[in-house]
Amino acid sequence: MTKLASKQEWIMKLSTPAKIACASALGVLLVGAAASAKGLEYKDVADMLHSVMESDRTVYTRKVVNRLAVKEKVIKASEHHEDEKTLPLPAQMFRFGAEMVAEKTDKFSYSLLSVWPINKQNAPRTDVEKSGLEFVAANKGQNFYGEETLGGKKYFTAVYADTAVAQACVSCHNEHKDTPRKDFKMGDVMGGVVIRIPMAE
């Protein structure tokens, strides 16, 4: 009982962003635990991971960046956020999380890609990425699932549409000096989240 009470106190002391981060981490861990306990299909695991990612990404884009940068105009969001004392861009927020996961586990990996990337490193590189991104852009509301062999290992690869959920997405991408496309509108598919899970041999 004492232990539980002290744990609750500890959680209460955390700042709101820390709580959100903990909840997200817990969500991802629970997904992992359930997958191994019940032997879920690769597709189900990928779908569950994506639902956590998409929700966090939408929350950050709408409730942090769009609200504070576009609506309230109290702070900007920019690529060089440390130098410029601004918020990380939503795409960076997503990538930082993906890189932190990459340091922790090789059980899955994920990235945010687009056929219209501002950073050219985020253009599709594999055939499955290319087909997947094209498919989710052309078939709104549908996901893409495939298998591919990379570096001698077989992967289950899922691609999910990444859509413009806030005005900030549209305006930043349309106005960026490196953008290859300038006519994005709210609700457009702007790219895709690619999740890879190594398949058992």
What mask, x for binding other proteins by CB under 8 A, covers residues 20 to 59? ----------------------------------------
Q: Judge whether 53 and 112 are in contact, CB under 8 Å.
A: no
Identified binder of other proteins from the candidate list 23, 150, 182, 186, rule CB under 8 A:
150
Site track for other proteins across 62-81, x = CB under 8 A: -----------------xx-
Q: With binding defined as CB under 8 A, does residue 126 bind other proteins?
A: yes
Helix runs in the chain, H state only: 2-13, 16-38, 42-59, 81-84, 90-104, 127-138, 167-175
Q: Kindly report the CA angle at 115 between 71 and 119, in degrees rounded to 5?
A: 65
Following CA atoms 120, 114, 178, 180 in sequence, which dihedral angle do they give, to the nearest 10 degrees? 120
Selected range binding other proteins among 27-35, 59-67, 152-160, 184-192, rule: CB under 8 A: 152-160
Please, which residue, 62 or 132, has the CB nearer to other proteins? Answer: 132
* Backbone torsion region of residue 194, taken as left when φ is above 0, otherwise alpha when ψ lies between -120 and 50, otherwise beta: beta
Tokens of 162: 């990444």
Cα–Cα dist 148/166, whole Å = 33
Site map 82..111 versus other proteins, x via CB under 8 A: xx--------------xxx-xx--x--x-x
Instruction: Give contact residues for other proteins (rule: CB under 8 A).
Output: 79-80, 82-83, 98-100, 102-103, 106, 109, 111, 120, 125-126, 129, 150-153, 155, 177, 194, 196, 198
